[in-house]
Amino acid sequence: MKKRLGNPLFVICSFLAGCTSASDLDRKADRTQSPSADARWLTLIVKAADGVEPRPVTLQYASEKCKEATHYGVGGQSQSGTAMMRALNFEKVELVREASGNAYKARFAIDAGGACQWKLASLETSFKYRSNHRLVKGREVISHGSEFNFRSAKDAIRTPNVKAEFAYFPVILVKDDPSKNELRLRPKSLFFPPNLDPSASGTMTLEVRVVEDMAMTVRADPQESHRYLVTYPDGATGTSPYLDTVGVEDERMQCLLSAGKKSCAEYSPRRR
């Protein structure tokens, strides 16, 4: 009579974690960077318009050579555990303002090297905006981050030097008490950065501006709950059931923000 095996879960290593020893789980990757002589470098230049101040850029480096224990959870605590995944390293880099003008600059390695052969996986930028608009004068707001991914993909841009322009406009929530007015920012259009894999060292130039005199104003409808009254910069009016969607991919605003447009009558104000 053959002896039956016990529960295979106790004798077979898990699919995710593999046969990992306790010492492997405790081991930390060496985060020392040591770029080689032929390493690629990136110079980031942010040209900030009035009222705009870039925040420190967040860099994510990844190592395919070094692994670290990563905790995961699927379907709650019943399927949680630890797996050995590629090591990640996050850094904050300050951008230094140049002596003249409104340009801020930082330089960092794409191929950071070191014992773990670190490579830049992504960078994220954001900015602080201080308004001079009469309804929210002196108020500050932080933009959402824009993330650029660096990877060897078929659709990746290989050009060493790239440039992107970001235009924003204010959305101002007007309240009965002016001191409680709220300031928000909306991009002229949604931007989905492409993958980057520069063939050599280069420069990324980002131009950021907020068109302050093209603010949309929003007020809660006093006659109907969960409804907002929206006023466009040209005086046109619309409505919205959600504050968070005001100005998002708004064709009339995109027209008003476009240089040389004399009339945007073809784009009706949103009414929902």
- As a three-state string, the secondary structure of 237-248 is EEEECCHHHCCC
CA distances from 257 to 52, 53, 186, 211, 248 (A): 18, 22, 12, 8, 13
Look at residues 32, 25, 87 and name the one whose alpha carbon lies nearest to residue 60.
Answer: 87
Domains of the chain, residue spans? 30-68+84-168+191-209
Mean pLDDT in residue range 250-258: 92
The whole-chain average pLDDT of the chain stands at 88
What's residue 238's pLDDT? Answer: 94
| Burial of 212 (C-beta count, 10 Å sphere; 0-12/13-18/19+) | middle
- Residue 141: pLDDT band (50, 70, 90) is very high
CA distance 26 to 132: 52
Record the tokens describing residue 88, joined without a space: 């990640």
- Tell me the one-letter amino acid at 141: V
What's residue 23's pLDDT? Answer: 55
CA distances from 184 to 75, 167, 235, 243 (A): 36, 14, 19, 10
**pLDDT higher than threshold 80 for residue 72:** no
- Residue 180: pLDDT band (50, 70, 90) is very high
CB contact set of 228 (below 8 Å; sequence gap of 6+): 218, 219, 220, 221, 239, 240, 241, 242, 243, 246
> Is residue 192 within 8 Å of residue 150, measured between CB atoms?
no
Q: Helix, strand, coil shares of the chain as percentages rounded to 5?
A: 10, 45, 45
Q: What are 28-67's pLDDT values in tens digits?
A: 899 999 999 999 999 999 999 999 999 999 999 999 999 9
